[in-house]
Chains A and B, each alone.
Chain A
Amino acid sequence: MSDTQTLALPRNPPGDLAIWFFIFAELLAFGIFFLAYAFARAKNVELFNQSQLLLNRESGMVNTLVLITSSYFVVRAVAAIREGFSQVCARWLLGAIGLGGVFVAVKLAEFHAKFAAGISLHTNTFYMFYLSLTIFHFMHVLMGMVILGFVAVKARRGGYSADSHTGVETGASYWHMVDLVWLILFPLVYVIR
């Protein structure tokens, strides 16, 4: 096959095509939410800058590292199943889910501290955005973990092979989306001022 032919071929991303429609719809939701944050901030720069300083940047950073690493584990899981190693694939996936659990734990501790300090959606516009953006993302982490859980169980039972593993790629693509969104969310809400 020549190069021109390769370019002409419509090569779809890994995983089920349906999940990609879903991923882009989700990205659109997050994108609009991010821009709403940014433009609301433009009207309240002082308030946003002050409130942002009170966030726990350490836990945000830890969670960034956790999510990037768990995404990396998922990449390794896909690489493993492409060579037909379903047990190795399942182990990488379990590792990724475990890191998802760490993310959830850190996040819950962070939410707990905020709620204990009496912060709620009503506190001010910044905290309204901080809470709703992070909780919306949090729900996606939970959903991603459930999806990866199903894939891991099936992989463990040898349900995928080197030739047929769309399910692994589908779950992986969703999990990377959850990671990707956090990579914008973290600097936006915790750092940029």
Chain B
Amino acid sequence: MRPCTRIWLLLIALSGVTYGIGEAGLGGKAVVATLLAISLVKSQLVAGFFMGLRRTSFMWRAIMGGYLVVVCGMIGVAYWLGAVR
């Protein structure tokens, strides 16, 4: 099996987990953190393997990785704010 096919299947599986959590109607800090972590992993997989950033210089990986961590992280902060309010 090609590596990209494996990544594709992994992405499908992770999306299934996200959907399952949604169907179960789960909420709360741990669930939010899990979902955001899954999103981060999925988007990193797409960026690294599909977009080919895995084989680029550190700068490119840092920009993309930094972007994804900041966006997912700040979303987490916003949800945490919503929960303590």
Closest to A31 in B: B71
A75 within 8 A of B: yes
Q: Which residues of A contact B15 (CB under 8 A)?
A: 61, 64-65, 68, 183, 186
Is A12's CB under 8 angstroms from B5's CB?
no
Number of interface residues of B (CB under 8 A): 47
Is B63's CB under 8 angstroms from A42's CB?
no
Q: Which bracket fits the contact residues of A?
A: 35 or more
A24 within 8 A of B: yes
Q: Determine how close the nearest CB of chain B comes to the CB of A174; give it in whole angstroms.
A: 10
Is A186's CB under 8 angstroms from B18's CB?
yes
A-B contacts counted at CB < 8 A amount to 130
Choice from B19, B51, B70 contacting A191 with Cβ under 8 Å: B19
Q: Determine how close the nearest CB of chain A comes to the CB of B43; give it in whole angstroms.
A: 5
Is B43's CB under 8 angstroms from A41's CB?
no
CB-CB contacts below 8 Å: B26-59 with A:
27, 31-32, 35-36, 38-39, 42-43, 46-47, 49-53, 55-57, 59
Q: A14-B52, A38-B75, A192-B36 are in contact. Are A180 and B43 (CB under 8 A)?
A: yes
Distance of A14 Cα from B54 Cα, bound (Å): 11
Q: Determine how close the nearest CB of chain A comes to the CB of B30; give it in whole angstroms.
A: 12
Q: A34-B75, A187-B38 given; name 20 further pairs at CB < 8 Å.
A: A11-B60, A12-B57, A13-B60, A28-B67, A35-B75, A35-B78, A41-B82, A42-B79, A42-B82, A57-B19, A64-B18, A68-B8, A72-B5, A169-B52, A179-B50, A180-B51, A183-B11, A183-B42, A184-B43, A187-B18
Give me the interface of A with B, judged by CB distance under 8 Å.
9-14, 20, 24, 27-28, 31, 34-35, 38-39, 41-43, 45, 49, 57, 61, 64-65, 68-69, 71-72, 74-76, 79, 169, 172-173, 176-177, 179-180, 183-184, 186-188, 190-193
